[in-house]
Amino acid sequence: EAGVVQSPRYKIIEKKQPVAFWCNPISGHNTLYWYRQNLGQGPELLIRYENEEAVDDSQLPKDRFSAERLKGVDSTLKIQPAELGDSAVYLCASSLMGQGSGNTIYFGEGSWLTVV
């Protein structure tokens, strides 16, 4: 069974340019997460979806970040315009269900963004 698939794996862009990341979660997983991981740090949640609904986007910088999960499966995360401080790994993850403990969250390989 395929795991969480992300693309692109690596992206280098100039500041002020837009960038988008795509994620395909594990089949059947209703909950999808986008995390950001800075170098040497643990991942931090940006947004969580349950099906099509964003149920927690409190940590998403809404002035430049946007995300969507239109059909409740794939998701995209966009940054426009990118800033130097956005350089990080953007991790997508999914779980069978979001609410309640014991729902293991599986991560993709990440999209590594460098803004120059």
Partner 1 sequence: GESVGLHLPTLSVQEGDNSIINCAYSNSASDYFIWYKQESGKGPQFIIDIRSNMDKRQGQRVTVLLNKTVKHLSLQIAATQPGDSAVYFCAENPSTGKLIFGQGTTLQVKP
> Using the rule CB under 8 A, is 107 a contact of partner 1?
yes
Bridge-based pairing of strands 111-115 and 10-13 is parallel
CB 112, min distance to partner 1, A:
8
Under 8 Å CB-to-CB from 107, ≥6 apart: which residues?
A: 4, 35, 43, 91, 92, 93
> Using the rule CB under 8 A, is 57 a contact of partner 1?
no
Closer to partner 1 at the Cβ: 55 or 84?
A: 55
Q: Could you tell me the maximum CA-CA distance found in the chain, to the nearest angstrom?
A: 41
Q: For partner 1, which stretch binds (CB under 8 A), given 16-24, 31-39, 67-75, 80-88? A: 31-39
Q: What DSSP assignment string belongs to 18-63?
A: -EEEEEE--TT--EEEEEEE-TTS--EEEEEEETTEEEE-TTS-TT
Show the binding pattern over residues 74-93: x = contacts partner 1 (CB under 8 A), - = does not.
Answer: -----------------x-x
Q: Please give the residue ranges that form the binding site for partner 1 (CB under 8 A).
A: 4, 31, 33, 35, 40-45, 48, 55-56, 91, 93, 95, 98-110, 112
